[in-house]
Amino acid sequence: MIKKLTIWVVALVVAFAGLTPSTTEAYSAYKADKIIKTANRYLGTPYEFGAKYGQTRTFDCSSFTKYVYAKNGIYLPRTSRDQAKRGTAVSMKNLRKGDLVFFKASRHASSRITHVAIYAGNNRLLHTYGQGGVRYTKFNDYWKSRYVKARRVL
């Protein structure tokens, strides 16, 4: 309850106090750091497709993002496809820490979203898939070839 109240107060201050974009960007950077810190607690947690939201023994990509963002007062839908409808569009070249990045299945012509990751800054993604579970990976050619879009929810 206190987290929700804090977020509402900050939103009202931003809306009515005429804060500059740099002030709101600083708040977004602060929130992104908190999200990354929360996510880091789960490094190595095993991947399980369809993992039940709310438990932390295993995650799939979207239960992980939903859980980590909710712990920081940002509520997302359960699936990556639905998460991709939230926030505002951001280009790959304008990614900021805390943005959600969405991907299609490898070697598929369709742009149907099948995966979500958190952009962690410095050309790194924080996500979960396959063996190794929650981890950092480089936003390399493999991931860039699967890229569909990114959304800013902070």
Active-site residue set? 61, 115, 127
Cα radius of gyration (the chain): 15
Distance from C-alpha of 44 to C-alpha of 37, rounded to nearest angstrom = 14
Q: Which residues are CB-neighbours of 152 under 8 A, at least 6 positions away?
A: 28, 87, 88, 89, 90, 96, 98, 99, 100
Strand, helix or coil for residue 137 = strand
Is the separation of the CB atoms in 125 and 118 below 8 Å? yes
Spatial CA neighbour of 24 closest among 10, 4, 5 = 10
